[in-house]
Amino acid sequence: MTTVYDGLVSRHLNRHFSRPIARALSHTPATPNQVSVCSLLLAVGSLAAFAAGQPILGGVLAQTSSIVDGVDGDLARLTGQSSAFGGFFDAILDLLGLTIWAAQGANKDLAWAVGFVALAGSYTVTYTRARIDEGHRRMFDRGLSSMASRDLRLLLVLIGGVSGQGLATLVVLAALTNTIVLVRVISARVTLGGASTRTVERAVPPASSYNPSEPENDEPRH
C-alpha cells in the first residue's frame, strides 16, 4: 500500500482526531471508501453553508471534512484495505470546496477570478506530487515544497470562514498554491536535471579507456 503523505496540519492537528475514530471504526464493517463518502458529504454541507451565508458553519464543516478524510487513510492502514477510490474522492473534494468558496465574497466577479487561480493552483499542487516518480516524491513532502497540502488549504478555509474574510482567504490560497507549484517545478528541474546528467556521465566511458588503435566492434579485424 502506498504511504499516505501527512501534511503539517494533519500531523499536528487532524491525526489527533482521525486516528481514534479510525481505531473505533476498524471494529465495524465500515470501509475506507464509505468514510470518503462521508467526507464528500461534509464538503457538500460546507458548500451549502457558504451558499446560505453561514461562513462559520461552512468553515467548520470544511475542516471536519479534512479530518474525516484522514480517517479514510488511517482506516485503510488499520484494516489493510485499499483507499485508492478515496484518493479519487479527495481530488473531487478539493475542486468542489474551492470552486464553491470562490463564488463567495463582496466582489463576486473578483472572487470568481481569484478563486479560479486558487483552484488551478490547488489542482496543480496535487498534480505535481502525483506525477513525479515515487523515488523523488519525498522532496515534495518536506520544507517549503510541502506548504500547500490539502489539509493546510482547508484549515485556511476554516480561518477565512470564521473570520468572514472570504476574498482575502482566496488571495492567500491563490498566492500560496501557485508559489509552491513554481517552487516544485524549480526543485524538480534542479534535482531531476542533475540526476539525468549523472546518469549520462555514468553511461559514457572515460576518455582514458578509449584506445584509437583498437577497431570498433563493427570494424573488421585484419
All residues at 6 or more sequence positions from 137 whose CB lies less than 8 Å from its CB, including other chains? 129
At residue 26, what are phi and psi to the nearest 5 degrees? -65, -15
**Rounded Cα gap, residues 41 and 157, in angstroms:** 17
**Residue 46 contacts residue 97 (beta carbons within 8 Å):** yes
Specify the CATH superfamily of domain 8-202.
CDP-alcohol phosphotransferase transmembrane (TM) domain (1.20.120.1760)
- In this predicted model, which residue has the larger pLDDT, 79 or 22? 22
pTM: 0.74
Give the count of beta carbons closer than 10 Å to the beta carbon of residue 105. 21
Query: Where does residue 140 rank: exposed (0-12), middle (13-18), buried (19+ CB within 10 A)?
Result: buried
Model confidence pLDDT, tens digit, residues 176-215: 999 999 998 888 888 877 554 454 445 445 545 445 444 4
Closest C-alpha among 23, 41, 4 to residue 150? 4
SS3 content of the chain, % helix, strand, coil (to 5): 75, 0, 25
Q: Which three cell numbers stand for residue 119?
A: 483552484
pLDDT the model gives residue 172: 93
Q: Taking the domains of the chain in order of start, what are their residue ranges?
A: 8-202
Q: Which residue in the block uniquely carries the three cell numbers 464509505?
A: 34
